[in-house]
Amino acid sequence: MPARLVYEAILETGISVSLRYEGHMSRRKQIYEGKAKILFEGPEPGTLVQYFKDDATAFNAQKKAVLDGKGVLNNRISEFVMLRLAEIGIPTHFIKRLNMREQLIKKVEIIPLEVIVRNVAAGTMAKRLGIEEGEKLPRSIVEFCLKRDDLGDPLIAEEHIHAFGWATPAELDEIIAMTLRINDYLQGMFAGIGINLIDFKIEFGRLATDTGHVVVLADEISPDSCRLWDRDTNKKLDKDRFRRDLGDVTEAYTEVAQRLGILKETNNKTAPVLSVVSNDD
């Protein structure tokens, strides 16, 4: 049976989002399952298929839910962001989107760091340093956490990275330089659609080459991994809606996708419907 997506989102009044997908997940060999994504063996050596689940977790997976359609939206938003970043010369693991929930990516060795950039105080930094959420930081700040779920991804210093060899000094220099460029670009991209990029988390991987390896942007960039606030109202359009029980999570992600021009609005006066019923592509 061909994979098929049924997507319907009614916004503004009487919000209703319904995204269902019948895919081909089981055909491929699963090599890793994370909280929001599954990695399968890819069709060619050196490739993987990254599958976006609807599962949402927060607070180191103490809070869990399934949000209908979240994976579809994150796949599309992350594809869009990775492609824009590639255009400005950021090397990424992204090759192409395969269908509504899957993308083909280059196989990389993930560097065990969560690289967080903050432009405005929020979340754990606001709490840790006693800064009011929403206060603009004197400059963008890059933080590192160790990717260790069993330890709750602890905050670490560059010193730890060097001492324990989690990345070489050259890799870390590249990571920081790329991270700041990504932040500059994404701040502008989101500002253009009326959104403040408060903070975000990215990950990098080592991509093998004939002569060694290069560091590339990996994982995803989506409302799961960014804080995105509407410029005029400060409405949260990101995973904090789930973390803080604000409701309308997929509606907020849909709004981000719509503002980025990924989802086309069709004009129907009784029910503004986004996008289409389409065959898998």
Q: Which residues bind ligand C5P (CB under 6 A)?
A: 114, 116, 122-125, 153, 199-201, 225-227, 239
Amino acid identity of 147? K
Q: At what angle do helices 169-191 and 70-87 cross, to 10 degrees?
A: 110
Nearer to ligand C5P by C-beta: 37 or 227?
227
Give min distance, CB of 1 to ligand C5P, in A: 35
Give min distance, CB of 8 to ligand C5P, in A: 27
Give min distance, CB of 23 to ligand C5P, in A: 24
CA distance 134 to 240: 14
Nearer to ligand C5P by C-beta: 53 or 227?
227
Nearer to ligand C5P by C-beta: 153 or 255?
153
Which segments of the chain does DSSP mark as H helices, in order?
70-87, 123-129, 158-164, 169-191, 240-243, 249-259
CA distance 220 to 172: 19
Nearer to ligand C5P by C-beta: 39 or 198?
198
Amino acid identity of 169? P
Give min distance, CB of 17 to ligand C5P, in A: 21
Nearer to ligand C5P by C-beta: 28 or 181?
181
Q: How far is CA 43 from CA 40, 140, 195, 260, in A?
A: 9, 40, 37, 30
Give min distance, CB of 125 to ligand C5P, in A: 6
Which strand ranges, in their side-by-side order, compose the sheet holding 30-33?
Answer: 30-33, 37-41, 47-52, 102-106, 94-97
Give min distance, CB of 208 to ligand C5P, in A: 26
Long-range pairs for 262-270 at CB < 8 Å and ≥24 separation? 262/76, 262/77, 262/80, 263/9, 263/76
Nearer to ligand C5P by C-beta: 93 or 239?
239
SS3 71: helix
Give min distance, CB of 100 to ligand C5P, in A: 22
CB neighbour list of residue 242: distance below 8 Å, 6 or more residues apart: 56, 58, 63, 65, 67, 249
Nearer to ligand C5P by C-beta: 79 or 199?
199
CA distance 16 to 99: 23
- Indicate if the alpha-carbon torsion angle 192, 193, 197, 202 is positive or negative: negative
Nearer to ligand C5P by C-beta: 11 or 238?
238
Of 269, 229, 216, 237, the closest CA to residue 85 belongs to 216
Give min distance, CB of 153 to ligand C5P, in A: 5
**Closest-approach residue to ligand C5P (CB):** 123
